Homo-oligomer: A and B are copies of this chain.
Amino acid sequence: MDDSESSSRSVAARIRRRLGRLTPTERRPALTLLANYPVAGLETVAQFAARANVSGPTILRLIAKLGFDSYPDFQQALRDELELRLQTPLAKAPPESSHPPQGDFLSTYTRAIIENIEASIADLPRAEFEAAVALLADPRRRILLLGGRFTSSLAIHLYLHLRELRPRVQLVEGQTATWVEHLLDLGRNDVLVVFDIRRFQEDVVLFAREAAAGGAHVLLFTDTWVSPVAAVAHHVFSVRTTMPSSWESFAALSALSEALIARLHAQHWKDSKRRMEKLELLRAHLSAEEPRP
């Protein structure tokens, strides 16, 4: 009866909506799928059934109740969802050729960015955020920042601001081969902040792993695909970076680190104010002695 309404939603949403009306045995694979979303549903009926400890026909009855015409149909829906989340620049020609632009480009693009930010921040666990702030606020800890090929700009952004607020902030940069030096005296009292999004970089992952093994706290900023660094990270922030049809957007990651900075600044205002005034003074000294151009 409510098919027309629920059929527009994601598979996960369809399941949640009908969970109450499922038989106990049907509920088992339904929950299994939610727990291993969407991989479980991409297997064969037999594999899925085995995973959920039910028989094949039960799977098929479940799929039918969810409103799919066949099991391949259901899998296609899962793949479509997945693809939408994962599109990379090379994936597809821009849509403007296919159907005329609705609203101009800038407005459309901006709306997508805003949606990304909103969705990301809404889903973000507040406690994790506060924990991260506390870690970064602790002046005794050393802070190391690391980014990937593209995300290094984010690491730099955070670095430039943190450096103003507190001492002992370092950026891991340059050739990969030189990174190890940072690992040398990295210990229990240090924090590594890593930015890593899809097309996760092996060298970044390895570095984070090493740092974690050495006892450092690892803070990870990643996309919905979740970098493998998460396995060793103490705090993980996963935000949306995918845009409808084009490149990825760092807007949400950027917003998050700015929020982090703002929070730090607000909470430890007295310390950072003193520090910034001192900086100001030093800069004045330096520039006063510079020769006039």
Contact = CB atoms under 8 A, between A and B. Distances in A.
Interface of A: 12-13, 31, 34-37, 39, 42-43, 79, 82-91, 93-96, 99-101, 104-107, 109-110, 113-114, 117-118, 121-126, 129, 149-150, 152-154, 156-157, 160-161, 202, 206, 225-226, 228, 230-231, 233, 236, 238, 243, 245-247, 249-251, 254-255, 258-259, 261-263, 265-267, 269, 272-273, 276-277, 293
Contacts of A36: 83, 86-88, 91
Contact of A110 (B34, B86, B91, B118): B118
A17 to B, nearest CB: 12
Contacts of A124: 100, 106
A117 B121 contact: no
| Interface residues of chain A: helix, strand, loop or mixed (majority) | helix
A247 to B, nearest CB: 5
Given A113-B255, A258-B250, A153 B149 contact: no
A88 B258 contact: no
B153 A255 contact: no
> Interface centre among A35, A90, A125, A226, by most B CB within 10 Å?
A90
B123 A106 contact: no
Contacts of A249: 255, 258
13 contacts: A37-B86, A42-B82, A86-B226, A88-B226, A94-B266, A96-B266, A106-B126, A109-B259, A109-B262, A109-B263, A152-B156, A153-B160, A247-B262
